[in-house]
Structure 1
Amino acid sequence: MSKTLSFKTYSAKPADVERKWYVIDAEGQVLGRMAAEIARVLRGKHKPQFTPHVDTGDFIVVTNAEKVALSGNKENLKTYFSHSHYPGGVRVDSVKDLLRKKPEKIIEHAVWGMLPHNNLGRQLFRKLKVYAGTQHPHEAQAPTEMKIH
């Protein structure tokens, strides 16, 4: 007698998802490689239960954002462009200025570009917590350290 195989596709339900907390030390990490790994974990692609339309990802806490590394000459050349939609409302910020003023924004911008740009992406992005220094207020969640190679 042969057993019948089930070929049904598994679809995760939001209530069934177990979320973990991870902490990443950004000191010396290359921005793009780190952002790609963060986006993968936020999305939940590291889990076998991954379902594209369900938030199956985990929480990420990034510390030492001011010590992130940029490959090549990006520290001098890379700029971030924004516009207020008013005449003359162009704003161009260099990476060097942002590292000094708001180092969290650099990592957030890189990760946001790697997430889906829809309601699910906004929901995923809320699980990213970025801090300039080594301290963060999420010790109660007992985050495990995640190494990025």
Structure 2
Amino acid sequence: MKTYHQKASEIQRDWYVVDATDQVLGRFATQIATLLRGKHKPTYTPSNDGGDFVVVVNCEKIKIMGRKADQKIYYRHTGYPGGLKATPYRMMLAKHPDRILRTAVKGMLPKNRLGRRLLGKLRIYAGPNHPHTAQQPKIWTPRYS
């Protein structure tokens, strides 16, 4: 039996809406990364972008476990000498709740062109509304809860 490799013409992409209310950040991000990669499909090919589009709503209501709300710090660098910036989790949640989930999912995707392309199919919104109703997205619920 030959190894199956998915062709670009065979890819069928779906749109999924996922509600992040009361979901645990890491477990939730793994499920989103699986949808983006297409690992839930029987036609999964590691080197191809065969995944689906994911729209996440209510990302400001996501949870983290333990004392991470007080201890977790997000780092970034401006590119200038001495330009290391540190932002605590609570401040990031107040100002940019979408970046919390995007950072978690980005760390679970490949670190190459494919990973950047996969991350482009992720849409994150802080509130319950999104502008993607024309794509007729399917409602998706996480498998672990």
TM-score bucket of the superposed structures, by smaller chain: over 0.9
**Is 1:13–2:13 an aligned residue pair?**
no
1:53-132 to 2 correspondences below 5 Å? 53-132=47-126
Deviations 1:7-49 (A, max 9, x none): 0111001121000010110010000000000001100000000
- Counterpart of 2:140? 146
- Counterpart of 1:137? 131
Query: Which amino acid is 1:143 matched to?
Result: P
Q: CA deviation at 1:83?
A: 1.1
Q: For 2:11 and 2:138, how far apart are their aligned partners in 1?
A: 18
Q: For 1:56 and 1:90, how far apart are their aligned partners in 2?
A: 36
Give the total of aligned pairs.
143
Q: For 1:113 and 1:63, how far apart are their aligned partners in 2?
A: 20
TM-score (norm 1): 0.94
Of the three residues 23, 28, 37, the one matched with 1:34 is 28
- Counterpart of 2:17? 23
Q: For 1:87 and 1:121, how far apart are their aligned partners in 2?
A: 29
Query: Which amino acid is 1:74 matched to?
Result: K
Query: Which amino acid is 2:10 matched to?
Result: D
The percent identity for this pair of structures is 50
Gaps of 5+ in 2: none
Q: For 1:61 and 1:74, how far apart are their aligned partners in 2?
A: 25
- SS where residue 42 of structure 2 aligns? coil
Provide the alpha-carbon RMSD of the alignment.
0.6
TM-score (norm 2): 0.97
**Which has the higher Rg, Structure 1 or Structure 2?**
1
- SS where residue 93 of structure 1 aligns? strand
- SS where residue 116 of structure 2 aligns? helix
